[in-house]
A and B are shown apart, each in its own frame.
Chain A
Amino acid sequence: MSEDLLNVTNLVKNFDLRVNNGARRKKRIVQAVTNVSFSVGKGQTLGLVGESGSGKTTVGRCILRLIEPTSGTVEFEGQDLGSLKFEELRALRRKMQIVFQDPFASLDPKMTVGSSISEPLIVQNVPGDHADKVIELLELVGLSADHAQRFPHEFSGGQRQRIGVARALALNPALIILDEPVSALDVSIQAGVINLFEDLQSRLGMSYIFIAHDLSVVRHIADRVAVMYLGKIVEIGEQQAVYEHPTHPYTKALLSAVPLPDPKTERSRHRIMLEGDVPSPVNPPSGCRFRTRCWKAQDVCAQEEPMLTVRPSGQMSACHFPES
């Protein structure tokens, strides 16, 4: 097991929600992330999966302190980010970058691609002329030097995502958070961008947190996987263990819901159909948050919150009645 680059411990993020209800003003709290702990090894990829509202994006943003966590600690290379002053945090941010889902919204339409890519270098006061660096970065992500003078609208979605990746790489980060980086791309284009992530990691050795709802993509790219449901990690472990021997009922149901591009497998698969929708994070169920949709739920699931426990196949899951 390699050394840890990032340690997240008991991360909590509550958002205040003010509801104007006529004369009465009620304050309610959205529990977006509750007691999330995990670590990411150097050069490793952690996949963070879950459905909408599971808190996976909020976790990513709390790590970068793009939003302030309510409580919990984030340690990067052994340093507690919460204890840093603003300037220190800013200096450390060179080593942590993020790539967003929408390659159309994340680039300034009025800036040339070259100036978008060199902006992080300017912000971080990296001395020198950045033109060579920009060309190097463009070539690294599979674009060419003459693209630097062009504007974002001249590029396709896949190319823009590559530009976003080049910008994230400008400061040689040790960690890149990839937040749904291929969801907006067409299938035939996705594969090239995923290959790019893999190539860059084997050349440059950075770690990824790969946030996605597409479980097939995460299975392909991740070393370890954390499955989130309503703000909590319900299962976490090596990719192979989680996908081949899911022990949390939610993981099992989620995996069985993913349609696979193979008609024979699809016909022969046993599918678990979950009832209903994800409950509101304003008022999550007591005990195990999945119990309202779980076919195994008993009284104890409403009373006692299950703890993450190591299972025989190696991963940890939080369930009173784990699948075996």
Chain B
Amino acid sequence: MTEKVLEIRDLHVTFDTPSGPLEAVRGVDLDVSSGELLGVVGESGSGKSVTFLATMGLLPARARVTGSVILAGEQLIGASAKQLRSVRGRLLSMIFQDPLSALNPVHRIGDQISEMLRSHQNLSARDAEKRAIELLDIVGIPQPGDRARQYPHEFSGGMRQRVVIAIAIANNPKVLIADEPTTALDVTVQAQILEVIERVQERFGTAVVLITHDLGVIARVADRVNVMYAGRNVEQGTIDSLFDHPSHPYTRGLLASLPRPGKQRLKPITGFPPNMLNPPSGCAFHTRCEFAADICKEDLPDLVSFGDLETACVRARELPKSESFS
């Protein structure tokens, strides 16, 4: 059950920009176990998407990636293009926020799924087509036989995202990475797509990494959660322990800033996210942290076990216990 399928160690990603090098990911360690649904939460610029684009080998060549990403025993950092092509879609798939740009507008839906199947499996055209229709049925598309013959523009946003999921799971990958898969969708359609993702995870035992900025989505579907800030993983644990007693000041701040029924006054985090061209020294959150001390400006904290959580905060042990958010 708890076999590690994806192991990220000390991942760094640096982009060269006209204003100098920008380190978007600054030493991320992260594990994904088989069959689990891991939520990755963070604000824009926290490095949550870049971490997984690097994992997929999808970053442009100018990005410098160092560290280690091991998927089912294979090292992906520094792997050849050919090796990556064989991994992507077979062992590791990714879906994005905008399903329309992920689909080819001039090919039938069924053919796009078949293409994915036949690029990794030795299947006849007819078998691939049959399997494509089954996959459309699994992701909850009514009349899959007819729909397979249609083009992307004939599908609504929610239906397109289902199609993209069908393509992503066609070869039964070990890990499915979903980057803000419901952000562009209406809330009633979001609920449907989250259900499809959970169904796929249960039925095929696929590990799912769900990248989102929405803590509500995390609370609904995730087993564990990783909180990212300024290119680092600042806290991780099961959702119950994280929502019960978050210990990192950033996690506390995020949970306290959300509107809840009966709450009189919201509590924002002061300041704004750091400029990653010139991140603060030490713990990047110290400029906004209500508990910051001098030591926070010097040491870059690593994740340390703290109760049921792992927290990257040198002061975590001394801080007053957080209020519960569950």
Q: A187-B215, A188-B269 are in contact. Are A266 and B220 (CB under 8 A)?
A: yes
Q: Encode contact with A along B308-326: 1 for CB under 8 Å, 0 otherwise.
A: 0000000000000000011
Residues of B within 8 A of A221 (CB): 259
A254 at the B interface (CB under 8 A): yes
Contact residues in B for A258 (Cβ distance below 8 Å): 187, 216
Please measure, in the bound complex, the distance between the C-alpha atom of A195 and the C-alpha atom of B267, giving whole angstroms: 8
Whether a CB of chain A sits under 8 angstroms from the CB of B219 is yes
Number of interface residues of B (CB under 8 A): 45
Residue A217 interfacial (CB < 8 Å): yes
User: Which of the residues B159, B188, B268 comes within 8 Å of A191, measured between beta carbons?
Assistant: B268
> Which residue of A194, A262, A263 is within 8 Å of B266 (Cβ)?
A194
Question: Would B186 and A191 count as touching, CB distance under 8 A?
Answer: no
- Is B20 at the interface (CB under 8 A from chain A)? no
A-B contact count (CB 8 A): 124
Query: Size class of A's contact patch?
Result: 35 or more
Contact in complex: A192, B268 (CB < 8 Å):
yes
A190 within 8 A of B: yes
Residues of A within 8 A of B259 (CB): 191, 194, 216-217, 219-221
Give the contacts of A187-224 with B (CB-CB under 8 A). Answer: 187-192, 194-195, 198, 213, 215-217, 219-221
* Minimum CB–CB distance for A183 against chain B, Å: 11
B213–A254 touching, CB < 8 Å: no
Query: Is the C-beta of B261 less than 8 angstroms from some C-beta in chain A?
Result: yes
**B186→A187 contact, CB < 8 A:** no
A241-254 CB mask vs B (1 if < 8 Å, else 0) is 00100000000011
Q: Which residues of A contact B43 (CB under 8 A)?
A: 186-188
- Which of B190, B194, B258, B263 is most buried by chain A, counting CB atoms within 10 A of its CB? B258
Give per-residue flags for B170-202: 1 if the beta carbon is below 8 A from chain A beta carbons, else 0.
000000000000000011111110110000000
Q: Is A159 positioned at the interface, with any CB of B under 8 Å from its CB?
A: yes
* Nearest 8 A/B pairs, CB to CB: A259-B216, A192-B268, A220-B259, A191-B268, A191-B266, A51-B186, A188-B269, A191-B257
Given contacts A215-B187, A220-B260, 8 further A-B contacts (CB under 8 A): A188-B253, A188-B254, A216-B260, A254-B187, A258-B187, A259-B217, A261-B260, A273-B191
Provide 28 A-B residue pairs closer than 8 Å at the C-beta atoms, listed in order of the A residue. A51-B188, A158-B272, A159-B272, A187-B215, A187-B254, A188-B269, A191-B257, A191-B268, A192-B270, A194-B266, A220-B259, A220-B260, A220-B263, A254-B187, A257-B188, A257-B191, A258-B187, A259-B190, A259-B216, A259-B217, A260-B260, A261-B260, A262-B326, A264-B243, A266-B216, A271-B191, A274-B188, A274-B191
